[in-house]
Structure 1
């Protein structure tokens, strides 16, 4: 019986090993030179015949291979006819916080309570998520892991997608506080006997006052003797001193105007609006107040009957042309699985008004600036992390986004996932059928 139990346990562990994420790549051991690719720098520039060298996880050279080919060293990758890009960045994601929606024990995206600035999404991040590893074959190599729920959800962090644990994954700890702004209108609650139509939210102003009161109480506590420990108030200190950005999740025109006033009242220098569905209506105010925007998922339907049918498709392009710093986020239904479509969201912006290099900025340099990581990510430039990939074609087009190599901080990572393994398995099945075997 004892032998049976041991055998069962070993078999179970082996099964877990088969389903776990593959082993993270080893630290870069020698220089790598990518020669001949069309380099999309991420800041709008292109080098047609490029030479990119990186050592010890950092880019040491980006130039024209025609003049500098002799400088190539270490492992040389001939990428002639291919394209090289900086790793794409997925902001406002819950990757690694939920593995299976129907299994409550795997859901760590939300906590009980309303004012939760002390909640840190990073410590709940699962670096071995099978969902997260499916981002990498599309070039999504970095992400902002953000909490959900409550009035103040908590604090996000930036991670890279090839790590043993959350400590290894983190590239920027506790980058920003996330606030869910209330709606000025709501639908009637039919289950309470209310008219199901849309009506003003009578609690809207009260909700805003509750938020302002919390901010005031936190400031008073931090200015006092702090004899009694209060974690939510203590967590606000880094917001007030500017170490943390403030991300406000809001979509309506009136609500965004109220957010702008809240920014002024609370003297919040670095505030980002997430969602921003009605942002075109107040684009001038956003620009005047130096507010950057993470627009919602482009592959969505309009919210209102009288909206342009293609408003979600063209929103990022329209705001960019207004001079607003714009990135794209993908929250919503099945958001974790759909995060892999981030490059194709940017590709949609190409179809609706932006050129390809400007659209690329929406998921590289622009997002890096918004998240405050542009000193080491977002572009292919000397001194930045060697987090990049090589694609056979245009990475913003799902027909040609075919990665051959990818690197995170100079480490060559695997592009195999559970999905690619299943694809290869069933391809063999049909190949055998065609061969009559």
Structure 2
């Protein structure tokens, strides 16, 4: 009986922990409705990314960007426009900067809350090959990590599943909304493949090298079956015939029967052997591939070009050297090396989900080691949007694109820069989060004790400065 009571008590604690994990994962910041008035941002330096930078520029936007003007062009345009009451919202941004919202190209935002609590991690499906699984369906729109990233200007994110050889389909989300449907920019942005490790490892522990080689061959065979089996299924399927869910999920990512490109296949590969094998696999089947990771991409330039790879999502720059004889700045210089080689790329943060807000600083390191500041910004905006397949709508400030922009007091790659206001699809979003609320709570304690003034500055003692 005592044992049963102990088990029941333990089960109760586990259930409570799971419920608590869910409670901790609730985002309580306001979700604002669709914009019902146009917005005019005036006087700022507008960094369009897709074109020239405009000093003393003007951005006019609703849900989409209506136009981007110099001050003189705006005055001429405004003289021809009659606004319906109550008119647009005007923002005086003199001395500020306007940038497109940052895009985290490779994240698990919404799929993972606390790595130490299994109940809050939903990144992997059961099974080695699950192409039918959609990351978008598992996203938690109430994740507390979403507003944390948003506070530092990350307004769009690519969300990738993990686990197994083919863990499912990635998606792109906007970091604002009530439901998964509100967040989704693309429900099925591309099929994700985790390329197998291609080398055996000699060591005292673990399986023998011949067993490792056998496992590598088996995993490559399963991967081949996933794509070649889907192609055979498509060619053999008769109208009204039986449906195979997994083959059906792969078919959209194969070349079209008429020869057109299929959907994007995101292949995660870092080692040179992985990259060259993945490129050969993709070239043989005519797949539209984006490499994810790419630590050794500079060693595989010819293979990447021969395969027609669309680009490389570099997962972080704050990485240690890969080999004992590597240069200390190998990872820092990789973006510039790919630029010089003519390979499209973007930069992802490469950090745990809770630190996705640090995305701009990964690009800043690349700027310190070879990229220009403009290339650094583009690597986390327009280049990221293009590799996620949403470059026609996001990533730059241009007429007709989504009004997903931010107003800052400096370059977002600088640690000292603050994002003062942000808009996603024309809706101004709340930039508070659990950390800013906690910060204000602590400040209030010291204000009540008279140690800080209303602005949060250290209070002057009586008689000071007299």
- Structure-2-length-normalised TM-score: 0.84
Aligned equivalents of 1:214 and 1:201: distance in 2?
A: 20
Assess if the C-alpha contact under 8 Å between 1:375 and 1:384 holds in 2.
yes
Paired with 1:224 and 1:42, the residues of 2 have a C-alpha distance of: 47
Aligned to 1:58: 64
Match of 2:183 in 1: 169
For residues 345 and 18 of structure 1, the distance between their equivalents in structure 2, rounded to whole angstroms, comes to: 26
The aligned residue for residue 248 of structure 2 is 234
Alignment counterpart, residue 312 of structure 1, candidates 331, 336, 361:
331
> 2:420 is matched with which residue?
404
1:171-320 paired onto structure 2 within 5 Å: 171-188=185-202, 190-192=204-206, 201-225=213-237, 227-240=241-254, 241=256, 242-268=261-287, 270-291=288-309, 292-320=311-339
Q: 1:429 and 2:451 equivalent?
A: no
The superposition leaves residues 106-160 of structure 1 with CA deviations (integer Å, 9 ceiling, x where unpaired) of 2210011111111111110011100111111111000111100000110011110
SS class of match (1:115): coil
For structure 1, which segment, 423-432 or 383-392, has the greater mean C-alpha deviation from structure 2 after superposition?
423-432
SS of equivalent to 2:163: coil
CA distance in 1, matches of 2:274, 2:94: 50
> Secondary structure at the residue paired with 1:337?
helix
**TM-aligned CA distance change 1:220 to 1:67, over 3 Å:** closer
Match of 1:354 among 359, 371, 383: 371
Paired with 2:51 and 2:216, the residues of 1 have a C-alpha distance of 42
Contact kept? 1:153, 1:178, Cα under 8 Å: yes
Distance 1:153 1:378 in 2: 27
CA contact (8 A) 1:184 1:254 kept: yes
Structure 1 segment 82-97 matched on structure 2, within 5 A: 82-97=96-111
Deviation at 1:316, TM superposition (A): 1.2
Where do 5+ consecutive residues of structure 1 fail to align?
Answer: 1-11
Conserved? CA contact 2:26–2:143, under 8 Å? no
Could you say what secondary structure the match of 2:167 adopts? strand
Q: Point out where structure 2 has 5 or more consecutive residues left out of the alignment.
A: 1-18, 79-86, 452-458
Provide TM-score, normalisation by structure 1.
0.89
Offset at 1:58? 0.5
Distance 2:135 2:413 in 1: 29
| 3-state SS in 1 of match to 2:400 | coil
1:331 Cα deviation (Å)? 3.9
Q: CA deviation at 1:350?
A: 1.1
Match of 2:411? 394
The corresponding residue for 2:159 is 145
Q: Shift in Å at residue 348 of structure 1? A: 1.1
1:386 to partner: Cα distance: 0.2
Greater C-alpha radius of gyration = 2
SS of the residue 2:229 aligns to: helix
Query: Structure 1 residues 385 and 223 mapped into 2: Cα distance closer, same or farther (>3 Å)?
Result: same
1:19: Cα distance to partner?
5.0
Compute the displacement of 1:239 (Å). Answer: 0.7
Aligned length: 417
